[in-house]
Amino acid sequence: MKVHIFHIGKVDVYPGTPIRDPNPFHKFGIGEKKSNKMKLPVSSYLIEHNGRKILIDTGWSREIAKTGAPWPLSDFAKPLLKKEDCMIRQLKKMHIDPSDLDGIWLSHLDFDHTSGLQDFTAAKSFHASAPEVKDKKFHLLRYQKNTFDMVDIQLFEFEETGIGPAGKRYDVFGDGSVVLINTPGHTDGLFSTKITAANGQYIIQAEDTVYLEKSIKEEILPGYCMSTKEAKKSVEWLKECSKDPSCLLIAGNHDPAIQPQTIWIDEKEDRPIEFHPHQ
Ligand SMILES: [Zn+2]
């Protein structure tokens, strides 16, 4: 199995977005200096497994590179994208067309994760967790419907397995290799993806459960949380995983410390996970 981590441009945010601030207005730039803004990467992941290809999140759309953000929220989550960095362009270089993708799995419906969907309408299927889609009606401002309403999103239910901070997970291929673990807090339906090799080593794509490298160690919550209590439990769970010698990487979606790379994960043979940075 191969897992490719791509950076689809950046998002320019106030520090209150990655690092929870006691003043909830700071993340919107109210009472906060523009010079404190941070440019964080926006990631998308391609997983190739047994001839199947799935994408987890899409990053910004091609349109964004041309016209900028169409939504009024763009000061506090401003997209920065060069044409050549669009996901569709990066996949084209690998000779992968949208119609070659078996599924697109959305970790949650924030627009920096769904914006690129409009470039991938030819993919075979689209998925998000049932609690995530149920919440979309409560987030009229946060969720930009026009970034995901053009595709038919199939809902999946997490299974109660006792695994993860909420005890819920979903096994994508049914073989235990790629498991979506519900890590609620930032949103209720958010998942982190745990990818496991035959030798027991694993990596976790933590999506927006944590933002920065230090967030896990110092238990720093994201600025946007639907439930700080759940978010805390999810970060604590990641912290426990980080102490496990079999856990080789925890990659937040917007963590500048995580570089674009391809990770070789052997799910059949007893071989160590290998990390190959993109040139
Ligand atoms: Zn995000």
Amino acid at the residue 23: N
Give the domain ranges of the chain. 2-277
User: 42 C-alpha to center of ligand 1: Å?
Assistant: 7
- In DSSP notation, 197-244 reads -TTS-EEEEEETS--SHHHHHTTPPPS--S-HHHHHHHHHHHHHHHTS
Condensed to tens digits (0 to 9), the pLDDT of residues 124-133 reads 999 999 999 8
User: 224 C-alpha to center of ligand 1: Å?
Assistant: 10
Residue 257: Cβ-neighbour burial (10 angstroms; 0-12, 13-18, 19+):
exposed
What are 133's two structure tokens?
């889609």
User: 275 C-alpha to center of ligand 1: Å?
Assistant: 24
What are 95's two structure tokens?
């000779």
Condensed to tens digits (0 to 9), the pLDDT of residues 255-274 reads 999 999 999 999 999 999 99
Rounding to the nearest 10 degrees, give the CA dihedral for residues 151, 48, 241, 278. -100
User: 124 C-alpha to center of ligand 1: Å?
Assistant: 24
Is residue 51 pLDDT above 80, yes or no?
yes
- Which is higher by pLDDT, 123 or 144? 123
Q: How far apart are CA 276 and CA 69, in angstroms?
A: 33
- Which band of pLDDT confidence, cut at 50, 70 and 90, is reported for residue 140? low
Condensed to tens digits (0 to 9), the pLDDT of residues 53-107 reads 999 999 999 988 888 776 666 788 889 999 999 999 999 999 999 999 999 999 9
Is residue 252 pLDDT above 70, yes or no?
yes
pTM higher than 0.85: yes
Q: What was the pLDDT predicted at 244?
A: 98
Mean of per-residue pLDDT scores for the chain: 93
User: 252 C-alpha to center of ligand 1: Å?
Assistant: 9
At residue 63, φ and ψ (nearest 5 deg) are -55, -40
Residues in the chain: 279
Condensed to tens digits (0 to 9), the pLDDT of residues 179-200 reads 999 999 999 999 999 999 999 9
User: 166 C-alpha to center of ligand 1: Å?
Assistant: 20
User: 210 C-alpha to center of ligand 1: Å?
Assistant: 10
Is residue 4 pLDDT above 90, yes or no?
yes
R_g (Cα) of the chain, nearest Å:
17
Q: What was the pLDDT predicted at 41?
A: 97
Residue that has been written with the tokens 């930032």 in this structure:
186
User: 2 C-alpha to center of ligand 1: Å?
Assistant: 23
CATH number assigned to the domain with residue range 2-277, chosen from the 4 options 3.40.50.620, 3.60.15.10, 3.20.190.10, 3.10.105.10:
3.60.15.10
CB 223 within 8 A of CB 267: no
Strands 274-277 and 261-264: antiparallel
User: 11 C-alpha to center of ligand 1: Å?
Assistant: 9
Condensed to tens digits (0 to 9), the pLDDT of residues 143-155 reads 878 888 899 999 9
User: 44 C-alpha to center of ligand 1: Å?
Assistant: 10
- Which is higher by pLDDT, 178 or 144? 178
User: 268 C-alpha to center of ligand 1: Å?
Assistant: 32
Among 13, 8, 9, 18, smallest CA distance to 55 is for 8
- Distance from the first to the final alpha carbon of the chain: 20
Mean pLDDT of 12-33: 89
Condensed to tens digits (0 to 9), the pLDDT of residues 200-235 reads 999 999 999 999 989 999 999 999 898 999 999 999
User: Between the CA of residue 114 and those of 21, 51, 117, 199, what are the distances in Å?
Assistant: 26, 25, 6, 34
- Which is higher by pLDDT, 31 or 2? 2
CB 86 within 8 A of CB 116: yes
User: 161 C-alpha to center of ligand 1: Å?
Assistant: 26
Q: What was the pLDDT predicted at 127?
A: 98
User: 79 C-alpha to center of ligand 1: Å?
Assistant: 11
User: 105 C-alpha to center of ligand 1: Å?
Assistant: 14
